[in-house]
Amino acid sequence: MIKLKRVYEPPSESDGRRVLVERLWPRGVKKEEAKIHIWMKDIAPSHQLRRWFSHDPEKFEEFKERYIKELENKEDLLLKLVDEAKRGTLTLIYSAKDEKHNSAVVLKEVIEKMLTSPPPIR
């Protein structure tokens, strides 16, 4: 199971493995209080894409396409997240205020698709 949770919400036992999927550490959050198991900075969107998107819901669909394109070059990191999800509950931790239009939402969709699709033949 893959869940999404804002870093500003308190951690809970039901979160399982908590993976921060932000390039920058969230403001005002102490590392010991966040209870992050893995900080996966490099899975986050590039600085350029993040700045372009600027959390504008009107740009979300194009942001999603561009971010998925970036993720194509991060298969090793995606596979680590897929493995974590196979072991138990995986909670992707993000800091955006908008709970529907952010990179963690896109990342969750990509991981879920990888979990249900057969691996490509190499």
Asked if residue 23 is part of any domain, the answer here is yes
What's the domain count of the chain? Answer: 1
Let me know: does 104 contact 21? Beta carbons within 8 Å: yes
Q: Find the helix or strand (DSSP H, E) in which 93 lies.
A: strand 90-94
At 71-93, the pLDDT tens digits run: 999 999 999 999 999 999 999 99
Asked if residue 121 is part of any domain, the answer here is no
Q: Residue 119 pLDDT > 80, yes or no?
A: no
Asked if residue 93 is part of any domain, the answer here is yes
The predicted structure's pLDDT at residue 87? 95
Asked if residue 122 is part of any domain, the answer here is no
Asked if residue 34 is part of any domain, the answer here is yes
22: Cβ–Cβ under 8 A, 6 or more apart, which residues?
Answer: 7, 41, 44, 93, 94, 95
What number of other Cβ atoms are within 10 A of residue 92's Cβ? 26
Let me know: does 1 contact 85? Beta carbons within 8 Å: yes
Measured in whole angstroms, the distance separating CA 56 from the mean position of its chain's CA atoms is 18
Domain that holds residue 49: 2-116
The predicted structure's pLDDT at residue 1? 93
Asked if residue 83 is part of any domain, the answer here is yes
Q: Find the helix or strand (DSSP H, E) in which 106 lies.
A: helix 103-116
